[in-house]
Amino acid sequence: MTQPAKPTQNIHEYLAELEDIPGTRVYTAARARKGYHINQFAMSLMQDENRQRFKADEKAYLDEWPISDEAKAALLKRDYNTLLDLGGNVYFLSKLFSTDGLSFAEAVSTMTDMTFPEYRDMMLKGGRSPEGNRSIKGGY
Amino acid sequence: MARITAGVGSSHVPLLGVAVDQGKDRDDYFGPIFAGYDWTREWEKETKPDVIVLVYNDHASAFDMKIVPTFAIGCGERYKSADEGWGPRPVPDVEGHPDLAWHIAQSLILDEFDMTIINEMDVDHGLTVPLSMMFGKTDKWPVKVVPLAVNVVTYPVPSGNRCWALGEAIKRAVESFPEDLNVQIWGTGGMSHQLQGPRAGLLNREWDNKFLDMLEADNDEVRWIPHIEYLRETGSEGIEMVMWLIMRGALGKKVRRLHRHYHIPCSNTAIGHIVLEPEE
């Protein structure tokens, strides 16, 4: 029995579109590969013993991981936008938020151009509008 | 014969779990969110489901980047609440239904959905927050749960069409289980939210409500929404809504809406909730 082949999505077009969203790093396979050890480092903070060791000497703990100096510097600075560029994913990085005792919303606000009170206020007023924020190329 | 009697869609924001655990669920901030679940809590008490097939995503709790299953089904006896870095939520263990879960797993594989089988794992807010929303604070969950974990983090995540088709296959699987069971299917996550980058905080009331309308419709157009539309319109984490399509696909062509609720904001997220009944 032969059935017609189903139309499949063109992988190159699919991946290109994911890069066309302003202020957003979609967690693609390329980023997942690049940031593998950043995310696995963050995952290690799920264990209390590791959290304690990390807090006692952040630099020494990071040196145990095969991650770049750039990523280590960004982790020490809690520079989350750079970490996204280097392949970090927010669900993994959130283990660092909790180690720091930060709420999800406060940590997220540090990636925007707002202070946390300003960000919270924007959310209470209905959040960021998608208007003008949908497409880099299209500008809509 | 087991049957799927209803579908429930709900956000699973972790802060909602905190509100329940700390007794803040009726304060000024959380009150309007939880009020929209009062109807459902009463309805759940009346309808008394035996088992929930609970579609959710793990948030770097049970799975890390070592293994990324697209669709995984929990076939274990019980699951503990995961420590997500703030300590485990103080909720009861989740009791599984291994007989039904293994039956669904086998049926799905024969139906050409190549599932990953999970025998042991902890479950995070993605699964326990919806249970708290529907059943409140309790010493023992009144249902057994078949967890169905979907990868909505690492791209490509499954298409809306594939999720819908998986729902259809779950319906067939449940209906071929010989024991008489009242089964609900829940799709969780969403609605619009973005937790990363300079665009964080994006919400889209209009699009979210269009999506809820499409779930109620007597057609399957919603399965064809491409990933890029969820991403552009509802934020990078809005993609979780594809999990609602597994629920909707399991209800058949026509549905009746029993309840619907929408609220902005909860932390970074828009809250959506819908209860649907299959109409044969």
pLDDT attached to residue A72 = 98
- 3-class DSSP state of B31: helix
Compute CA B23 distance to the chain's CA centroid, rounded to the nearest angstrom.
Answer: 23
Domain hosting residue B46, numbered range: 3-198+211-227+236-278
pLDDT attached to residue B84 = 85
B67-104: pLDDT as tens digits: 999 999 999 999 999 988 778 999 999 999 999 999 99
A133 to chain B: which residues are within 8 Å by CB? 199, 202
- 3-class DSSP state of B51: strand
Q: Across the interface, do A24 and B196 touch by the CB < 8 Å criterion?
A: yes
Interacting residues of A56 by C-beta distance below 8 A, sequence separation 6+: none
CA distances from B202 to A84, A113, B54 (A): 17, 14, 27
Domain A25-99 CATH assignment equals 1.10.700.10: yes
Q: Across the interface, do B198 and A111 touch by the CB < 8 Å criterion?
A: yes
A26-72: pLDDT as tens digits: 999 999 999 999 999 999 999 889 999 999 999 999 999 999 999 99
Question: CB contact, 8 Å: A7 with chain B?
Answer: no
| C-beta of residue A116 within 8 angstroms of C-beta of residue A5 | no
B160 to chain A: which residues are within 8 Å by CB? none
Backbone angles phi, psi at B14, to 5 degrees: -55, -35
Q: Can you give the pTM of this predicted structure?
A: 0.97
Q: Across the interface, do A95 and B204 touch by the CB < 8 Å criterion?
A: no
Number of domains in chain B: 1
Strand pairing report for B255-266 and B269-278: antiparallel
| C-beta of residue B136 within 8 angstroms of C-beta of residue B41 | yes
Let me know if residue B66 belongs to a domain: yes
Let me know if residue B181 belongs to a domain: yes
Residue A4: is its pLDDT beyond 80?
A: no
The DSSP result for A77-107, as a single string, is HT-HHHHHHTT--HHHHHHHHHHTT--HHHH
- Spans of all domains in chain A: 25-99
CA distances from B59 to B13, B68, B125, B151, B192 (A): 11, 12, 8, 9, 17
**Phi and psi based region of residue A139 (left: phi greater than 0; alpha: psi -120 to 50; beta: remaining):** left
Place of tokens 């929930």: B52
| C-beta of residue A140 within 8 angstroms of C-beta of residue A30 | no
Nearest CA in chain A to B264: A126
How far is Cα B48 from Cα B142, in angstroms, rounded to an integer?
8
Q: Which CATH number covers residue B220?
A: 3.40.830.10
Question: CB contact, 8 Å: A97 with chain B?
Answer: yes
Interacting residues of B112 by C-beta distance below 8 A, sequence separation 6+: none
Question: CB contact, 8 Å: A82 with chain B?
Answer: no
Nearest CA in chain A to B232: A134
Let me know if residue B35 belongs to a domain: yes
Residue A14 CB neighbours (<10 A): 16
A81-123: pLDDT as tens digits: 999 999 999 999 999 999 999 999 999 999 999 999 999 999 9
How far is Cα A6 from Cα A8, in angstroms, rounded to an integer?
6
What positions of B carry a catalytic annotation? 125, 193
B170-198: average pLDDT: 98
The minimum CA-CA distance between A120 and chain B, rounded to whole Å, is: 8
Q: Across the interface, do B194 and A24 touch by the CB < 8 Å criterion?
A: yes
B111-123: average pLDDT: 97
How far is Cα B55 from Cα B188, in angstroms, rounded to an integer?
6
CA distances from B62 to A22, B28, B146, B203, B218 (A): 31, 34, 15, 28, 36
Q: Which residues of B29-47 are buried (b: 16+ CB within 10 A; e: fewer)?
A: ebeebbebbeebeeebeee
Q: Looking at this predicted complex, what is its ipTM?
A: 0.94
pLDDT attached to residue B51 = 98
B146-166: average pLDDT: 98
B8-21: pLDDT as tens digits: 999 999 999 999 99
Residue B249: is its pLDDT beyond 90?
A: yes
How far is Cα B31 from Cα B25, in angstroms, rounded to an integer?
6
Let me know if residue B61 belongs to a domain: yes
| Mean pLDDT estimate for chain B | 97
